[in-house]
């Protein structure tokens, strides 16, 4: 199985900050990576697919990038609605695997 290692596990930040979350794959997944946002009691919401393509309707302050097997989700200017847990997911090969999650908290 491909292991997805996310960091940090928790991130404290303020409204207006620029933040980044990293996800490292244990082997090559090409660009087959998605980022999701999940709020308590809700289903995950797709933000980015194919490493850097913004899902329709997602604000442009969210962006994704990749460098080899390291992938980054960046939020350019945090808004109050962005405080949530974020997961990466590889869909290069079965079994699909998720990172362990990053909880973005208000500082």
Give residues in contact with other proteins (CB under 8 A): 1, 32, 34, 36, 42-46, 49-50, 53, 55, 87, 89, 91, 94-101
Report the C-alpha gap between 83 and 103 in whole angstroms: 8
- Min separation Cβ 29 and other proteins, Å: 11
- Min separation Cβ 34 and other proteins, Å: 4
Token digits of residue 13: 């930040």
- Min separation Cβ 73 and other proteins, Å: 13
Q: Is 55 exposed, middle or buried (0-12, 13-18, 19+ CB in 10 A)?
A: middle
């Amino acid at each position: 199985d491909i292991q997805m290692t996310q960091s940090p596990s928790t991130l404290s930040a303020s409204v207006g900050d620029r933040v980044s979350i990293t996800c490292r794959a244990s082997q090559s997944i090409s660009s087959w990576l998605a980022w999701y946002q999940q709020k308590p009691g809700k289903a995950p919401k797709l933000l980015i697919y194919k490493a850097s393509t913004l899902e329709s309707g997602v604000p442009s302050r969210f962006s994704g990038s990749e460098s080899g097997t390291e992938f980054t989700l960046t939020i350019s200017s945090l808004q109050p609605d962005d405080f949530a847990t974020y997961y990466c997911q590889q869909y290069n090969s079965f079994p699909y695997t998720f990172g362990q999650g990053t909880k973005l908290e208000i500082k």
